[in-house]
Amino acid sequence: MIIEHQGQALTVAMEMERRAIRTYERALLLAKDEEVRKGIEDILGDERRHLKRFTEMWDKTVNSAEQQVLLQAMAADVLFRGGVTEMAREDALTTLTGLYRYAMESEANAVETYTKFAEKCEGEAQAAFLEIVREEAGHLAELKEKLGEG
Chain mean pLDDT for the chain: 85
Reported as a single tens digit per residue, the pLDDT across 81-90 is 677 888 899 9
User: What whole-number percentage of the chain has pLDDT above 70?
Assistant: 83
Please state, in angstroms and as integers, the Cα–Cα distance from residue 73 to each residue in 10, 58, 76, 103, 125, following that order.
Answer: 14, 17, 5, 22, 22
Position 11 scores a pLDDT of: 83
Helix axes 34-58, 6-30, angle to 10 degrees: 160
Give this prediction's pTM.
Answer: 0.74
The average pLDDT across 19-42 equals 95
Indicate the DSSP class of residue 3: -
Domain boundaries, the chain: 6-146
Position 25 scores a pLDDT of: 96
pLDDT of 71 higher than 70: no
Tell which CATH architecture fits domain 6-146.
Up-down Bundle (1.20)
pLDDT band at 108 (very low <50, low <70, confident <90, very high): very high
pLDDT of 58 higher than 60: yes
The average pLDDT across 92-113 equals 91
The average pLDDT across 136-145 equals 91
Contact 92, 99 (CB under 8 A): yes
Q: CA–CA separation, 133 vs 66, rounded Å?
A: 28
Position 106 scores a pLDDT of: 87
Q: CA–CA separation, 142 vs 27, rounded Å?
A: 21
Contact 10, 58 (CB under 8 A): yes
- Higher pLDDT: 12 or 35? It is 35
